[in-house]
Amino acid sequence: QVRLVESGGGSVQSGGSLRLSCAASGDTSSSYCMAWFRQAPGKEREGVTFISRLSRTSTYADSVKGRFTISRDNARKTLYLQMNSLKPDDTATYYCAAQHYMYCTGSLRESDYKYWGQGTQVTVSS
């Protein structure tokens, strides 16, 4: 079992940057693959980026490629999302998610993740 708590959200102007963090507690974080999802008002939750448990593999949604970078520090049990060149369309609640490595698919499907944080709000103004 792992508990996830996001932080780092806030309001920023278009073109700005934010770094989100997701602190994990409980089981060893290196046993889990992790991902970031987001949900904008009135829209379904969508996958943003994935990282494997030892950071060997990462994938990104086309909408954030070249602007967002996922990373993790297993010693600190923390997942990060560096977001650059932010756009108003990036406005959403951002969630981190985790799944035990035995069940990892490397996907950005919501149903493939068992553990979720409570979310942190990101607002990008034009």
DSSP for residue 16:
-
| Least-confidence region, from 28-37, 61-70, 94-103, 116-125 | 28-37
Residue 27: is its pLDDT beyond 90? no
Q: How far is CA 72 from CA 31, 90, 120, 123, 125, in A?
A: 12, 21, 18, 23, 28
Q: Which residues have CB under 8 Å from 27's CB, separation 6+?
A: 1, 2
- Write the CB contacts of 3 (distance below 8 Å, at least 6 apart in sequence): 24, 25, 26, 115
**Given pLDDT bands bounded at 50, 70 and 90, which one contains residue 84?**
very high
